[in-house]
Amino acid sequence: MAAQPMTAQSAQAIHVQGLEKAYKKLRALRGVDFDVARGSIFALLGSNGAGKTTVVNILSTLLKPDAGTATVNGFDVAAQGAQVRESISLTGQFAAVDEILTGRENLVLAARLRHLKGAGEIADDLLARFQLTDAAQRRVSTYSGGMRRRLDIAMSLIGNPPVIFLDEPTTGLDPQARLLVWQCVRELAGRGATVLLTTQYLDEAEHLADQIAILHQGRIIVNGTLAELKQLFPPARVEYVEKQPTLEDIFLAITGDDRTGSSDSAARSGRAGG
Ligand SMILES: Nc1ncnc2c1ncn2[C@@H]1O[C@H](COP(=O)(O)OP(=O)(O)OP(=O)(O)O)[C@@H](O)[C@H]1O
Ligand SMILES: [Mg+2]
């Protein structure tokens, strides 16, 4: 059962103020502020070393900040770590699945560790949602990188945590697997979960997020909705150019594999098909 928030900040799923963190002399975070509304998707965008994982690790209580405060689901990360951990799931940047076990065994184990009834059914449902049913009985050591990633994300959804952290969930995934993850993230938000994801891909933030914050050298330099971000730049001039398919369009059209059936991929294959 998800812990219930008790503080005044519970209107926001995540509240971050003045967060600072240094690794010896390296000032990774230099005063980070942002809020994430309940049930929304928030993308923390930034290049390598911007500080994304540091933020996620502080919010999930793996790391202590040097200064500043943060609440998650209304709980203070410094003073109420246990309640924060009950409210969240974290899919780290590097997969945390057991190689020796099969995909299904990993999921069943995770459900049992959370004391959930019907662990087998929960596992089968997630295997189907992440299109891993065919590989369910295989050891994870035989999985491809994308399959591991999907299993890792599936594991983090067990128990329906209200706040979900995904640190670069789609890095290294092929285009279809990426669309599958996007679809799943949208579903989660649709069910009322709050999702904070980090990404290095502008288009990912653009397609997925209700709110986008750009982290650069330990500071948030821009924060807003896509429409707000676009207003920061001069209005686009209308030009007529022949639309060329992107490499991703071509890839999806040639492989003919529409695993997601989502409007994203349908639109993409359609455009490239002509
Ligand atoms: N444990 C650590 N010890 C020392 N320096 C660290 C440690 N963890 C991170 N750093 C440094 O802090 C800065 C921010 O790192 P962080 O991992 O938060 O960035 P990131 O935005 O997640 O990058 P990436 O896109 O590569 O995952 C980097 O300069 C990194 O080298
Ligand atoms: Mg990182």
Using the predicted structure, report yes or no on whether residue 86 has a pLDDT greater than 70.
Answer: yes
Name the strand (E) or helix (H) holding 216.
strand 211-216
Asked if residue 258 and residue 203 are part of one domain, the reply reads no
The answer to whether position 4 is within a domain reads no
Residue among 19, 21, 25, 26 whose CB has most ligand 1 atoms within 8 A, to mutate = 26
Asked if residue 213 and residue 251 are part of one domain, the reply reads no
Closest residue (by CA) to atom 24 of ligand 1? Answer: 48
The answer to whether position 6 is within a domain reads no
Asked if residue 112 and residue 177 are part of one domain, the reply reads yes
> What would the pLDDT profile of 187-223 be if each residue is shown by its tens digit?
889 889 999 999 988 889 989 999 999 999 999 999 9
Which backbone phi and psi does 163 adopt, to 5 degrees? -125, 130
The answer to whether position 254 is within a domain reads yes
Number of domains in the chain: 2
- The whole-number pLDDT of residue 235 equals 65
Binding site membership of 25 for ligand 1 (Cβ less than 6 Å): no
Using the predicted structure, report yes or no on whether residue 9 has a pLDDT greater than 50.
Answer: no
Output the CA 51–ligand 2 centroid distance in Å.
Answer: 7
The answer to whether position 90 is within a domain reads yes
The answer to which of 52-61, 67-76, 100-109, 154-163 has the lowest mean pLDDT is: 154-163
The answer to whether position 5 is within a domain reads no
> What would the pLDDT profile of 40-79 be if each residue is shown by its tens digit?
999 999 989 999 999 999 999 999 999 999 999 999 999 9
The answer to whether position 2 is within a domain reads no
The ligand 1 atom nearest the CA atom of 93: 27
What contacts 232, CB < 8 A, 6 or more positions away? 222, 224
266 is in which domain, residue-wise? 240-274
Could you give the dihedral angle defined by the CA atoms of residues 221, 175, 168 and 135, in that order, rounded to the nearest 10 degrees?
A: 170
Binding site membership of 53 for ligand 1 (Cβ less than 6 Å): yes
The answer to whether position 43 is within a domain reads yes
Full-model pTM: 0.83
